[in-house]
Amino acid sequence: MFASVGDRIVIRSMHLGGPVRDGEVIGVEHEDGRPPYRVRWSDTGHESLFFPGPDASIDRTGPSYAAEYDEPAHAG
């Protein structure tokens, strides 16, 4: 799994009807985008260091994705 600042982490419950949690990647510890990630969670505003598990996915909206596809980066 690889992420950039500005991407969104989405965690889906492994149980039917379970909660979904998401947050914005605000920091990447490794230059190549490997975990862990500093994430600001949308439900609480809390920031934490996050090591993604099998229930996590990346919504690639950060600046590196936009540059790769010549799209303007999302502004929030």
Rama region for 54: left / alpha / beta (φ>0; ψ in -120 to 50; rest) = alpha
Give the model's confidence band at 76: pLDDT under 50 very low, under 70 low, under 90 confident, else very high: very low
Does residue 44 form part of some domain? yes
Does residue 30 form part of some domain? yes
Full domain range(s) for residue 52: 8-56
Give the model's confidence band at 64: pLDDT under 50 very low, under 70 low, under 90 confident, else very high: low
The predicted-structure confidence for 20-49, as pLDDT tens digits, reads as follows 899 999 999 999 999 999 999 999 999 999
**Mean pLDDT (whole number) for 35-64:** 91
Does residue 72 form part of some domain? no
Give the model's confidence band at 68: pLDDT under 50 very low, under 70 low, under 90 confident, else very high: low
Q: What is d(CA 62, CA 6) in angstroms, rounded to the nearest whole number?
A: 4
Name the domain count of the chain. 1
